[in-house]
Structure 1
Amino acid sequence: MNQENRPGEWAKARQLPSPNQDARPQNEVSLLLLHAISLPPGQFSGDAIEALFTNRLHPGEHPFFAEIAHLRVSAHLLIRRDGACVQFVDTDRRAWHAGRSLWWDPALSEWRSRLNDFSVGIELEGDDVTPFTRAQYAALVEAVGWLMARYPNVTPQRITSHAKVAPLRKTDPGPAFDWAYFRQQLTLATF
Structure 2
Amino acid sequence: MKVTNHRLTTNHVSEKIKHETTKNKGGRMNPQFIIIHFTAGSSATSSINWFKNPNARASAHIVIARDGTITQLVDFNQKAWHAGQSQWANFRGFNDFSIGIELDNPGRLHKVGNRYLSWFKQEYPIENVVEARHKHESTPSFWYEYTQEQIEACFELCQTLTKKYNIQIVLGHDDIAPYRKDDPGPLFPMESFKAKLFGRTGDSIDTYTVNTDKVNVRKGPGTSFESYGTLSKGSKVEFVKSQNEWFLVSLLENKFKDQDVTSGWIHSRLLQK
Pairwise same-fold verdict (TM > 0.5): yes
Q: Aligned partners of 2:38, 2:59: CA distance in 1, in Å?
A: 12
Q: Flag structure 1 segments of 5+ consecutive residues without an equivalent.
A: 57-69, 105-110
Q: Larger strand proportion, structure 1 or 2?
A: 2
Structure 2 residue aligned with 1:76? 61
1:22-65 Cα distance to aligned partner (Å, 9 max, x none) = 212xx3211110000132xxx345x2111111007xxxxxxxxx
Provide the identity percentage.
Answer: 31
TM-score of the superposed pair, with normalisation by structure 1: 0.75
Find the counterpart in structure 1 of residue 188 from structure 2. 177
1:13-32 equivalent positions in 2, closer than 5 A: 13-24=17-28, 27-32=29-34
Rounded to whole Å, the distance in 2 between the matches of 1:140 and 1:15 is 16
Are the counterparts in 1 of residues 170 and 194 from structure 2 also a CA contact under 8 Å? no
Structure 2 letter corresponding to 1:116 = N
Match of 1:164 in 2: 175
Structure 1 residue matching 2:57: 3-state secondary structure = coil
Give the equivalent residue in structure 2 for 1:49. Answer: 47
1:61 — aligned with what?
Answer: none
CA–CA distance in structure 2, aligned partners of residues 123 and 11 of structure 1: 18
Equivalent residue number for residue 136 of structure 1: 150
Find the counterpart in structure 2 of residue 98 from structure 1. Answer: 83
Give the ranges of 4+ consecutive aligned residues of structure 1 lying more than 6 Å apart after TM superposition: none
Task: Tell me, in whole angstroms, the C-alpha distance in 2 between the residues paired with 1:83 and 1:164.
Answer: 24
Match of 1:10, SS state, is: strand
AA matched with 1:71: A
Match of 1:119 among 78, 88, 98: 98
Give the letter aligned to residue 92 of structure 2.
Answer: S
Equivalent of 1:89, from 70, 74, 81?
74
Please state whether the residue corresponding to 2:197 is helix, strand or coil.
Answer: helix
Tell me how many residue pairs correspond in the alignment.
157
The structure with the larger Rg is: 2
Query: Structure 1 pair 176/142, CA: closer, same or farther in 2 (3 Å)?
Result: same
CA displacement 1:70-109 (0-9 Å, x = unmatched):
42110000111111000010001110110001021xxxxx
The alignment's C-alpha RMSD in Å is 2.0
Higher RCO, 1 vs 2 (CA within 8 Å, ≥6 residues apart): 1
Extract unaligned runs of 5+ from structure 2: 11-16, 109-142, 200-273
TM-score by length of 2: 0.54
